[in-house]
Chains A and B, each alone.
Chain A
Amino acid sequence: MADCGEADGPEKKDELVRAKNEGKELTKEEKQRLRKEKKQQKKQKDEKGPSERAKEKKPVAPSQPVATQPPTQKAPTVLPASAPIPVPASGAPSHSSPAPSPADKPAKSRAEQKAERRARQEADRASKQQSCSSSSKTKAPPSELNPVVKRLPEHVQVDDPAVVKRLAKKLERQQIPLRSDYGYKVSLFSHLHQYSRKAPLTQQLSIPSTVIHPSIVRLGLQYSQGIVVGSNARSVALLHAFKQVIRDYTTPPNEELARDLVNKLKPYISFLNQCRPLSASMGNAIKYIKKEISNIPSQFKEEEAKTKLQNCIDRYIEENVVLAAKAISKYAIEKISDGDVILVYGCSSLVNHILCEAYEKSRKFRVIVVDSRPRLEGREALRRLVQRGISCTYVLISALSYILPEVSKVFLGAHALLANGYVMSRVGTSQIALVARTFNVPVLVCCETYKFCERVQTDSFVSNELDDPDDLIVTRKGKTQLENWHDVSSLGLLNLVYDVTPPDFVDLVITDLGMIPCTSVPVVLRVKNLDQ
């Protein structure tokens, strides 16, 4: 709360004091008041016109649950860094209020409800006064008054030239080259970046890279070339690279390690984002490491601080990747019975781990690996399973409805689990879940809790990743039909990477905290935030 106090104006302070005094119920009042303010703000904005609205959206950051650290403004606010850090007292962050409020609405007594109503009326009156005064100075601190209006992240606004220019300026300031888009983009996805693998970002960097740490350059290359693929692998590789950065870091004079190191990491994160958009697990890992760095007490000597940070990273990986995999396999093995026919899709490191462990524990089952172009990751999954001795069948996704009658269970991996229960995973997963549901085959999603994110998405268009379109070009019998696809003006090649599966198609999510239904993801998120 102390942090928020800096950003807010004086009018807010007495409200906050009241909030602290009157306890939890008033936070709901605040929420409702804020909602009303937001409606009024919107009305005002509509009068002013769309151009003003765009300007106002820019410096907005959610204020009440805001962490004033400037890094969070740069990070995409769909994963607001704010939420887990401050103020468990204020309850769940207001923008995901629909989900938790039904969850935390206990039965209230009459008296309490009356008190609530009275307090609400007072709050309304106060807010009306405040909104009149605030309308005069909307430009200056709009952040305090629109906590619920979120700023769209830059990577989903590529067709807006103002946003692109802003991004270019930011990268220039950090001395990172801008990667240019490639090829014609299908209109539905023209708001996303599309890069070519043949034009790596390192072309524009000097070779003995001085601006960016060499291990980060190496990591960026490995991401963009697809050598490090998969949510777990990417976050582990990222943390490994951060360990090397921390090892080579020296605090400049007159600077504090806690603040300077975080600033040092910012251009690296932008660079990695340019190479390949960050995944949800990477985002959470970055949030964790930034929090750890800023929490280093200032009396620590540099060596102590560095060892502490490296130990934190090791512990994070050990807990969230290695031990979580063990816990998840323990739960999942309970669900695998002898004689099962298990269907898996693509190459999920966690699902492969589970199946290998189940095989070690002498469960008798066979696996059907479903694969899809252009990545054909199923081949790697097939290799790993067959190497252990598991009997496998391999089909392409077009044969899905043909083999589903044989299948008894479907195990899917996830790239991220969204706050509304949707599962974000490799493109094709939602198809598998849909057809499995039609055949009444249970679908089990396995996901570690560090991949849960507070984003909400109901379709695959709004935020996705476009891979290199040239991957779709194939040469058969010496002929490449699509090699001149650039010349055909109305032809676009679309290579999507992710899609979202609605929770109705998923029967169970197996996490390291246990087996939960898909809709309990926000509960887990809240529990995790309280822990921190």
Chain B
Amino acid sequence: MELQAVLMAAGGGSRMMDLTYNTPKPLLPVGNKPLIWYPLNLLERVGFEEVIVITTKEVQKMISTDPKTKLDVKMKLDIVCIQEDADMGTADALRHIQQKIKTDILVVSCDLITDAALHEVVDLFRAHNATLSMLMSKAHEFTETVPGQKGKKKTGEQRDFVGVDGTGKRLLFMANEADLDEGLVIRKSIMRKHPRMHIKTGLVDAHLYCLKKSVVDFLADNKSVSSIRGELVPYLVRKQFSKSMTSPNVNDEADQNLKKKDGNANLEIQILSRDEVLLQLTRERSCWNDHRGDMSEAYHGGRLRCYVHIMDEGMCYRVNTLAAYIEANRLAPKLFDEPAVHPSAAISVRCLIGADSIIGASCQISDKASIKRSMIGASTTVREKVKVTNSIIMHGVTIEEGCNIQGSVICSNAVIGRGADIKYCLVGSAQRIEPEGQ
């Protein structure tokens, strides 16, 4: 087997607490499907047959029992539960399932909605025998006004600096602005090997990583690494250019982690020593080089390589903020071609449903309701003369007559009283809005 898929669904959704305090993030409805459906669909489309899903007990219970959250995927899901309060990072979760991992892995986050061609990422991983290969995308500005927030909050400290080489595929540098004290520090060894580097800041990390099995073994030995994105990836990117990675001899290093990693690398070499000879012979005889202009061989003799595939076009969203959630709801339906109006919805004749809207199952839409560019969740009741524009209405909501809802997010099981006028609001779940409310 070549790759094992691991889906990280234990995140808390810390940046959208308004939505997630009742529903766990993996089960938030986007386009009337639970959020976790999107990465699972991506993996299924590409051809995976089984996925290891790391999630909390609550989510697992809801998936197996709740009929509303049905995931119609044909793959075999191996659900591993971790404690909610253990505060495990993604790398900790990988350490937890180390026994199950037999080959290289593809780690996906549950909040990824994308139509990327995964083979581009995996091809980089295969062709260059890379240790890490990831997916990134050009960020899109969110244009919709976010309910509950005044004005646009541009969080400047959250920028990521990503340095790639001339081809745009090799990852040379990665740092978050929060980790940098004064300025961007680039080591001379990098500049010597790659004199031309493009540094990009407007990229969204899709949190989709192909990792070699030896990295998982490395994590098992190094308990201090707890987050893939925050710690492991920058560490691997830095280690591409460290001295001991290029020379076969391991000098005594102060860095304990480094020794462990080299220990693993050496172990690998011992196991495959016979085959390594042939690979070395191939590389010697092949007249290919990934760079030109200096005297060193392909990859500068480095054994650790990190690659990135940057998507120019196509959809790639990480639903971890409210703005992203709204944007995703707008565009997610394009990913799957189900009819916009669920067949079991009871829609009366004289209502206006715009083309961009999605109506969930078992809805009841009464006369003279007007629904434009909105998502209506399952089992929602919408009474007469209701105008719903640009909104997201989750399941189980009851909207009484004469309401006017604009640009809002109404969580599940809320009740909106008669004649309420809701503009750009976020209504929590099971809330009640009085009639004639504003």
Contact = CB atoms under 8 A, between A and B. Distances in A.
Interface of A: 200, 202-203, 205-210, 214, 217-218, 221-222, 225-230, 232-234, 236-237, 239-240, 243-244, 314, 317, 321-322, 346-347, 349, 377, 379-381, 383, 386-387
Interface stretch (B23-31, B53-61, B78-86, B122-130): B122-130
Size category of the binding interface on chain B: 20 to 34
B287 A230 contact: yes
A234 B278 CA distance: 11
Nearest to A322: B281
A218 B3 contact: no
A429 to B, nearest CB: 15
Given A208-B3, A239-B278, A227 B288 contact: yes
Given A208-B3, A221-B126, A222-B127, A236 B48 contact: no
B275 interface: yes
B383 to A, nearest CB: 48
Contacts of B278: 236-237, 239-240, 243, 317
A206 B47 contact: yes
B199 interface: no
B1 A202 contact: no
Contacts of B295: 383, 386-387
Nearest to A231: B285
Contacts of A210: 1, 49
A228 B292 CA distance: 17
Nearest to A221: B127
Contact of A227 (B48, B281, B286): B286
A349 B122 contact: no
A202 B432 CA distance: 53
B123 A221 contact: yes
Given A208-B48, A218-B127, A240 B282 contact: yes
B275 A229 contact: no
Nearest to B210: A207
Contact of B286 (A202, A205, A229, A314): A229
B118 interface: yes
B126 A227 contact: no
B331 interface: no
Given A221-B123, A227-B127, A379-B292, A209 B2 contact: yes
A217 B127 CA distance: 9
Contact of A377 (B119, B123, B285, B287): B287
Interface of B: 1-5, 46-49, 106, 117-119, 122-123, 126-129, 274-275, 278-279, 281-289, 292, 295
B291 to A, nearest CB: 11
26 contacts: A200-B119, A202-B119, A203-B119, A205-B47, A207-B46, A207-B47, A207-B48, A207-B122, A208-B5, A210-B49, A218-B129, A221-B126, A221-B127, A228-B286, A228-B288, A229-B288, A240-B278, A240-B282, A321-B281, A349-B284, A349-B287, A380-B289, A383-B289, A383-B292, A383-B295, A387-B295
B5 to A, nearest CB: 8
Given A206-B46, A227-B127, A217 B2 contact: yes
Contacts of A386: 295
B287 A207 contact: no
Nearest to B272: A244
B288 A226 contact: yes
A300 B48 CA distance: 36
Given A221-B123, A243-B278, 6 more contacts: A208-B2, A208-B3, A214-B1, A214-B126, A233-B286, A237-B286
B3 A380 contact: no
Nearest to A375: B287
Contacts of B2: 207-209, 214, 217
Contacts of B275: 240, 243-244
A226 B128 CA distance: 11
B171 to A, nearest CB: 18
Contact of B126 (A217, A314, A322, A380): A217
Contacts of A317: 278, 281
Contacts of B292: 379-380, 383
A226 B289 CA distance: 10
A221 B129 CA distance: 11
A381 B122 contact: no
Contacts of B3: 207-208
A234 to B, nearest CB: 8
B48 A380 contact: no
Contacts of A202: 119, 122-123, 126
Contacts of B126: 202, 214, 217-218, 221
A487 B286 CA distance: 36
Given A208-B2, A218-B129, A203 B117 contact: yes
A200 B123 contact: yes
